[in-house]
Structure 1
């Protein structure tokens, strides 16, 4: 028996993700940073130095996309590329003090936006949503890995 949501789940997840992305985009716009750039500097802030390849893996972005983000962040003075200690072909990327200050200033706006997104949704519903989303992701990964 076909579930009435089978044909809608992919679209609904995609549509929700796009709306959530746009809401973050509007929260970050006053700080002249995009959600993609914001994600990179946060990943670097948490991890310390990372290679471009590691950033691509963590963020699940193509290396060309990461390169564009890094070029922009470097022009803004938010990251530096240093020679990788063990791989001459790679760079070790880290954030600057300017990026740390930006994170400190912007973090409250992003947390406020995250709280706005969950208004009217109780914790039990959020827990169920996170669980179902994780299972959808696991099923999708299993399908992709099986192909």
Structure 2
């Protein structure tokens, strides 16, 4: 039955995502980082200084969540918040040298965790899986748009 199949796919994707997230949590714990904090540091490393709003958009997280992450990262000496010279209501977030050093240390740990996730999975299978995920996302977007757009 199609309905049961779709629910099963959703559950499997959700369950796999949770376990993959937990894998990253375990890998990052010795470095006193959470996956969310690590993601913010990576975004800043790639893009340079960003506003809190831009970080929220890039990570698809709520502003309040970003603020909590930044509070912790600032206490750890990994980021600096300063007033945006173009908008005094906004802050610009930059990485510290300590954060850049930590990111270099953590890179191999994160890569090892990612490599372990794909043990015994061929590149062809990975490519197919990613293609199917892209199509599931596209189908979900079309469905959401069809149900939420105003006529």
User: What SS class does the counterpart of residue 25 from structure 2 fall into?
Assistant: helix
Computed over aligned residues only, the root mean square deviation of the Cα atoms, in angstroms, reads 1.2
Q: What's the offset of the Cα at 1:101?
A: 0.2
Q: Where in structure 2 are there 5+ consecutive unaligned residues?
A: none
Higher strand share: 2
Q: What's the offset of the Cα at 1:54?
A: 0.6
User: What SS class does the counterpart of residue 7 from structure 2 fall into?
Assistant: coil
Is 1:110 matched with 2:110? yes
Q: Where in structure 1 are there 5+ consecutive unaligned residues?
A: none
TM-score by length of 2: 0.93
1:1-147 paired onto structure 2 within 5 Å: 2=2, 5-146=5-146, 147=148
Deviations 1:82-121 (A, max 9, x none): 1113211100101100000000111000000000000000
Q: What's the offset of the Cα at 1:144?
A: 2.3
Higher helix share: 2
